[in-house]
Amino acid sequence: MADADGEARPTKTAAPPPTDASPTTQPTLASTAPSSAINRCIAEADRPTRRIIADVAVDYVSKTAEVQQRIEFLNREDGALDHIVLDAQANQWDDSFSLAELTHNGETTPYEINLNRLRFDLAEPLTPGCWLEIGLRFQLRVAEIRDGLRSYRGFFGYSPRQLNLGHVLPTVAARLNGDWRIHAPAGIGEQIVNAVADWEVNLTVDNAADTLQLAAPGYVAAQGDQAWTIRLRQSRDFVLSLSEEFAVAEQQLADGRTLAVYSFADAQLNDRGLIMDGAAHTAQEGIKALQLFERLFGPYPYDRLVIVQGDFPDGMEFTGLVFVGSAWFYGFDGTEKNYLTLISVHEIAHQWWYARVGNDAALHPWLDEALATYSEYLYIEEYYPSEKNWWWYFRVAVYLPEGGVDSAVYEFSTPREYINAVYLRGAQMLQNLREDIGDEHFFQLLRSYYSAGDGLIADPGLFWRQLAPDQQPLTVATRNEFLTEPAVYVEQE
């Protein structure tokens, strides 16, 4: 299909695979996993396309990690594969990723690695319905978060009080239309296109104080002293954050699910004796956003959502865990009218627009960023309706945004130009679409896009094809105004 990840979804079975909340079982250590020199062919109907099991041993003082990782990859396509491409994001940085060995079905295999692209040939083609096992042994060296564009990648970096490991475990690159879809990293925006995988990470941390806390998504089970197992199903990414200074606040939804905020003491501001607790504010507004977006878009599939105060600019979305930059906590004024609120809500919206409905973040960034930005407005409209005009001015109009909403990240030279075109004009375009077709059809559009793209990598055609034929002419003027290539989607009808 032209509109989505070409991989078929796993067949539904009467007994679904365990969720991230299922009781713990003894983890299988990657280092002791069985392997065989030949590809194996499918036995279980519910085997995921990608399964990743990693042992991660962090040295908290030297800011390094030794990793043994196993990836099982099932070929769900019609044709055989003669090579495999892995996305190894950590290798884009000098001295950050040292690969000691790659094995394929238990045998050491030569490979080529260039930035994030790690490729190896298969001795025996991987035929449809069969799966293979890839082993990786590598060291991560985490860099200090400094200034400049790289600071935005502080989700793989450390500050004096925080160690973040995001996008550091390689995964098999996405397959779209029978081809590998992987982009080289660039300075502006995101370039990651990941298909979902089931993750199990066995983490140990050495040389940290007893106060060390782990912030991680999914199901987290302590395995003794500074050791944990983390399981996360159907996720495009894996991330964790460690600190000896985290304070943890949890809020429960009525159904027992939890939202946890991991923050530092400076998330509480003292303004002439008045305490303003940014962590509590983020937790409270985060719950409200989660409930609203579930009602408007569709279910959030995990039992926990984690917000982490990140010592790097802006924020960053991962599946089940989002970072909100420390600067937004420092700017908290005790009200909802600030970037602490908006960025928290924005990153939570990415649980729908990115984590569930994936997209090519380099070529079609508006599919997640415009929708996440407009979701901020939906939150304001729901909970603070008297502030709707404030949002449009504070978040959008003040920047006089211009540029095509459907631009690729490579078309911009500054983050501001990128945000103006893709996020801000994107939000304006969605508001215009809503006015074109009316509230009922607009929210139906969002729900049907979510449902059609859930678990896949969507392209703009999937979004536009959710418009009914009689809605196409109603939206022509909006598409012509905001899109550089509006005709592409009309022709597909």
Select 241 or 375, whichever has its Cβ closest to Zn ion: 375
Chain CA centroid to CA 283, Å = 20
Q: What pairs with residue 235 in β-bridges?
A: 197
Select 120 or 339, whichever has its Cβ closest to Zn ion: 339
- The residue whose Cβ lies closest to Zn ion is 372
Which residues have CB under 8 Å from 223's CB, separation 6+?
A: 27, 202, 229
Q: Which of 86, 372, 380, 456 binds Zn ion (CB under 5 A)?
A: 372
Window 223-242: contact mask with Zn ion (x via CB under 5 A)? --------------------
Q: Which stretch binds Zn ion (CB under 5 A): 84-92, 266-274, 363-371, 435-443?
A: 363-371
Select 67 or 289, whichever has its Cβ closest to Zn ion: 289
Select 134 or 372, whichever has its Cβ closest to Zn ion: 372
Q: How far is the CB of 429 from Zn ion (least distance, A)?
A: 16
Q: How far is the CB of 154 from Zn ion (least distance, A)?
A: 15
Q: Which stretch binds Zn ion (CB under 5 A): 121-129, 231-239, 328-336, 369-377?
A: 369-377
Q: Which stretch binds Zn ion (CB under 5 A): 329-337, 370-378, 466-474, 483-491?
A: 370-378
Select 140 or 429, whichever has its Cβ closest to Zn ion: 429
Q: How far is the CB of 369 from Zn ion (least distance, A)?
A: 5
Select 215 or 324, whichever has its Cβ closest to Zn ion: 324
Select 311 or 369, whichever has its Cβ closest to Zn ion: 369
Q: How far is the CB of 63 from Zn ion (least distance, A)?
A: 27
Distances in Å between the Cα of 256 and the Cα atoms of 250, 251, 304, 415 are 11, 9, 9, 39
Select 185 or 415, whichever has its Cβ closest to Zn ion: 415
Q: Which stretch binds Zn ion (CB under 5 A): 145-153, 275-283, 366-374, 408-416?
A: 366-374
Q: How far is the CB of 159 from Zn ion (least distance, A)?
A: 22
Q: How far is the CB of 141 from Zn ion (least distance, A)?
A: 28
Amino acid in the structure at residue 237: D
Q: How far is the CB of 292 from Zn ion (least distance, A)?
A: 17
Site for Zn ion in 75-94 (CB under 5 A): none
Q: How far is the CB of 97 from Zn ion (least distance, A)?
A: 25
Q: What pairs with residue 251 in β-bridges?
A: 259
Q: Which stretch binds Zn ion (CB under 5 A): 21-29, 127-135, 319-327, 365-373?
A: 365-373
Window 321-360: contact mask with Zn ion (x via CB under 5 A)? ----------------------------------------
Q: How far is the CB of 190 from Zn ion (least distance, A)?
A: 9
Q: Which stretch binds Zn ion (CB under 5 A): 124-132, 159-167, 224-232, 361-369?
A: 361-369
Residues in binding contact with Zn ion, number by CB under 5 A? 2
Q: How far is the CB of 361 from Zn ion (least distance, A)?
A: 9
Q: Which residue has the tokens 């592409």?
A: 488
Select 267 or 372, whichever has its Cβ closest to Zn ion: 372
Select 198 or 347, whichever has its Cβ closest to Zn ion: 347
Select 228 or 463, whichever has its Cβ closest to Zn ion: 463
Q: How far is the CB of 200 from Zn ion (least distance, A)?
A: 27
Question: How many Cβ atoms are within 10 Å of 337's Cβ, its own excluded?
Answer: 15
Q: Which stretch binds Zn ion (CB under 5 A): 59-67, 306-314, 367-375, 462-470?
A: 367-375
Assign residue 95 a region (left: φ > 0; alpha: ψ between -120 and 50; beta: otherwise): left
Select 191 or 229, whichever has its Cβ closest to Zn ion: 191
362 contacts Zn ion (rule: CB under 5 A): no
Give the Cα separation of 191 and 141 in Å (integer): 22
Q: How far is the CB of 126 from Zn ion (least distance, A)?
A: 35
CB 323 within 8 A of CB 316: yes
Q: Residue numbers of the site for Zn ion (CB under 5 A)?
A: 369, 372
